[in-house]
Amino acid sequence: MAELNPFKIAQAQLDEATEILGYDKGTRDLLRWPKRELVVHIPVRMDSGEVKVFEAYRVQYNDALGPTKGGLRFHPAETVDTVRALAAWMTWKTAVVDIPLGGGKGGVVCNPKEMSEGELERLARAYMRAVGHFIGPDVDVPAPDVYTTPQIMAWMADEYAVMRGYNVPGVITGKPIPVGGSLGRHDATARGGIFCVREAAVALGIDPKTATYAVQGFGNAGQYGATLYQEILGGGKLIAASDSRGGVISKAGMDPAKLVEHKLSTGKVENFGGTEPISNEDLLELDVDILFPSALENAITDKNAAKVKAKIICELANGPTTPEADKILQEKGCFVIPDFLANAGGVTVSYFEQVQNNMNFYWTIEEVYERLDKKMTDAFHAVYEMHKAKKVNMRVAAYLVAVSRVAEAMKLRGWV
């Protein structure tokens, strides 16, 4: 369906902000499109001996504020429009947390669940050979995303070092700690979201210690969101959680740490003790205080938004809410912490990793968490104050904060 094209959604969200900001056509057009795109076709020899060709992308959306930055997905449903949208959202994400980076994104059309470790390594290295001339620590810095891991980042960083003839740790972030990764990166996306929930709860007069919450998408971000909620906010009750195979619900509440253990040992949340099954669709409509959409795009649409009952929606996923759904949620009084604010903790600690790589000096985990807390808290309040001043929803407010920063840099550079 055309209305669910993620890039058209990203453009529609941007258009609303630039209309409010009153920008001229040239500025609007430059903000609406990626600055550079690369499409490559990568041959990889599979374990069977067959050579398979994979289509892959790297999009550098806007670098007015600094080198582009963004994850790399391995996903069978990847498209260039998905990558464009994610690169756009990365541009606003780095701007809203006020770090000197632009937005980029990459993707490879593949199904990593059907590939061996050796095949994944050959694909990762082949991708780096294909795009290595297009990226670099001062140009564009990839990072992990859906179905890519620190190990995959290590293979790519090593391949880039082979191409250059020397180590360049800052070319990739999300690396394992022994090869230049940052402490605190593993849970940064969820941790940043929980910091935002903490601030939102104060603003709305909700006690997070007694609040109920549900997590749709129990991958990395969702798992850490579930556990860090209780660790950082000192309470709360996890009512339901789901993954791509199904979900579980318990009105009495679940132990997040034990549910994570169950997921890691069985590969799914289903059949967790003391729970009943629930679908992803029904989970989104539960009467909980806080909902964490943590899976893929377009989970909340005009078809189900009217049934969403959560008071706070913290979007740990990218693009889980369509523009039509946004309007419905606003009318219902739902407080949405938009994706490129809520999940900006990941890119913030990735930026910290770049800084540490450049200094060749590494911080303690306490220093990382303290700096992340400050960045996320400052970003939340910049957006919240804009939300109150302009009387717009939080997503539009986040766009106003981010887009105005990017546009100012574009103007100062003489682009527009």
Q: What CA–CA distance (Å, rounded) separates 350 from 361? A: 15
From the candidates 93, 105, 263, 311, give the one annotated as an active-site residue: 105
β-pairing, 237-243 with 51-62? Answer: unpaired
Phi and psi at residue 254, to the nearest 5°: -125, 155
What are the backbone angles phi and psi of residue 251, rounded to the nearest 5°? -65, -25
- What's the one-letter identity of residue 371? R
Beta bridge partners of 278: 247
Output phi, psi for 66, to 5 deg.
155, -175
Phi, psi of 242 (to 5 degrees): -145, 160
Residue 251 bridge partners (DSSP): none
Rounded Cα–Cα distance for residues 142 and 350 (Å): 10
Of 335, 338, 290, 330, nearest to 306 by C-alpha is: 330
178 is written with which tokens? 């022994």
Active site residue 93: no
Neighbouring C-beta atoms of residue 318, cutoff 10 Å:
26
- Which two three-digit tokens encode residue 80? 């260039």
DSSP per residue over 337-358, as a string? E-HHHHTTHHHHHHHHHHHHHH
Cα 79 from Cα 113, distance rounded (Å): 18
Q: DSSP for 117-174?
A: HHHHHHHHHHHHHHHTTT-BTTTEEEEE-TT--HHHHHHHHHHHHHHHTS--GGG-SS
Query: Is 349 in contact with 184 (CB distance < 8 Å)?
Result: yes
Q: How far apart are CA 85 and CA 155, in angstroms?
A: 26
Encode burial over 385-397: b for 16+ CB neighbours within 10 A, e otherwise: ebbeeeebbbbbb
Q: What is the CA radius of gyration of the chain?
A: 20
The two tokens of residue 88 are 């756009």
Q: Give the tokens for residue 205.
A: 């007069």
3-state secondary structure of 85: helix
Reported as type and span, the H/E element at residue 371 is: helix 365-390
What residues are labeled active site? 105
